[in-house]
Amino acid sequence: MSQAPGAQPNRPPIYHERQRLELCAVHALNNVLQQQLFSQEAADEICKRPLSQLALPQVLGLILNLPSPMSLGLLSLPLRRRHWVALRQVDGVYYNLDSKLRVPEALGDEDGVRAFLAGALAQGLCEVLLVVTKEVEEKGCWLRTD
């Protein structure tokens, strides 16, 4: 725990985790909660567990931030950039609407999109944002309770 620079001596101590590796989400959670509650392992487990509990019919779409390899022509570079990808259900079929694809890629039903998400999460350094209506967000019904 560190005191913020320039902090007044009469102010209470402020919990502040500094950046380590690429754990900024963990640090942000702990800093907001003002104590070390989350570890990388705990955050990873939380990310994996809600995958099976997602109430996909309640989710309008998903946006993934994935590592994306860089290349110059046929030469692959040892660098990775980040790329945003959209997933959405249309007429009962989930699609990968990645802007780098020539055409949308059919992922299939809920099992297909869950398999795609599991594969993306297994690669590591993947973020998933859920797009839901205000009503779904307020009710918190994007997760199954069973």
| Residues annotated as part of the active site | 24, 83
- In whole angstroms, what is the distance from residue 99 CA to residue 111 CA? 23
Q: Residues 71, 76, 79, 80: is their CA dihedral positive or negative?
A: positive
Q: How far apart are CA 132 and CA 17, in angstroms?
A: 31
Q: How many CB atoms lie within 10 A of CB 99?
A: 8
User: How do 105-108 and 93-96 pair as beta strands?
Assistant: antiparallel
* 127: number of Cβ within 10 Å: 14
